Amino acid sequence: MLLNLIVFAAVAYLAYDKNTLRLLLTEKPKQHLFFGYTALLTILWSIQASIYEGLEVHFLWMTACTLFLGPRLAIYAGLIATLINCLLGSYQWDNAYIQLLSGVCLPALVSYLVYVISFHKLPRHFFIYVFVCGFFAGALSIGLKMLAISGVFTLTGQYAWDVVFDNYLILLVLLAFPEALLNGMTMTIGIIYVPSWVRTFYDSQYLDDK
């Protein structure tokens, strides 16, 4: 329990930014988007399947959350969703810090890194944004999350590698494309209908004169 508290507090502290918090407190659309995403993540993560404790399988949707809110607010939304799912019993509190680091922080940071690299290294085009920042980053995020959890549980001796691989990691093949599609479709709908909500999308960069 102490380790969980330390990790949760450290993540909350490192993700804190005064300017981001001020925008959240003063802009009602930002508040609605943040709390809406937090609620949806909580529901989505509660719909899961597992054979062994700690090896839960579910969609993440953290890539779209990061692109909409930015990495700091996305981490806070995931942190709150993780805590709520622990209270509801969807996650075991003993392994909550593993879920937070691998299922929230890692996907958010990786998704934002893909976005930054794409923004600076690739042509700024609508389809590149959707397919690279949404589709590809979504598949990469869930892949790294499952690899990280597999490594942690194997290295700590909680489960043997063959148990983790046969009952958890092998499902990555089935989850990668739907996760990518979920994030890619979310970003497409967001850009078309409510582009002002998407924190990382700029009409002047991705649409004008294209």
pLDDT along the chain (210 residues), means of 10: 91 94 90 96 94 91 97 97 94 91 97 97 94 98 97 94 95 96 97 93 77
Q: Which of 74, 90, 3 is nearest to 36 (CA)?
A: 74
Which pTM value belongs to this model?
0.95
What secondary structure does DSSP assign to 88-140, as a single string? HTSS-GGGHHHHHIIIIIHHHHHHHHHHHHHHHHS---HHHIIIIIIIIHHHH
What's residue 2's pLDDT? 86
Helix axes 106-121, 137-155, angle to 10 degrees: 140
What's residue 210's pLDDT? 55
33-75-128-202 Cα dihedral, nearest 10 degrees: 50
CA separation for the pair 131, 128 (Å, rounded): 5
What's residue 23's pLDDT? 87
What's residue 177's pLDDT? 97
Task: Enter the DSSP assignment of 54.
Answer: T
What's residue 204's pLDDT? 83
What's residue 208's pLDDT? 67
Task: Enter the DSSP assignment of 159.
Answer: S
What's residue 203's pLDDT? 83
Q: Is the C-alpha dihedral spanning 41, 146, 127, 182 positive or negative?
A: negative
CA separation for the pair 133, 118 (Å, rounded): 7
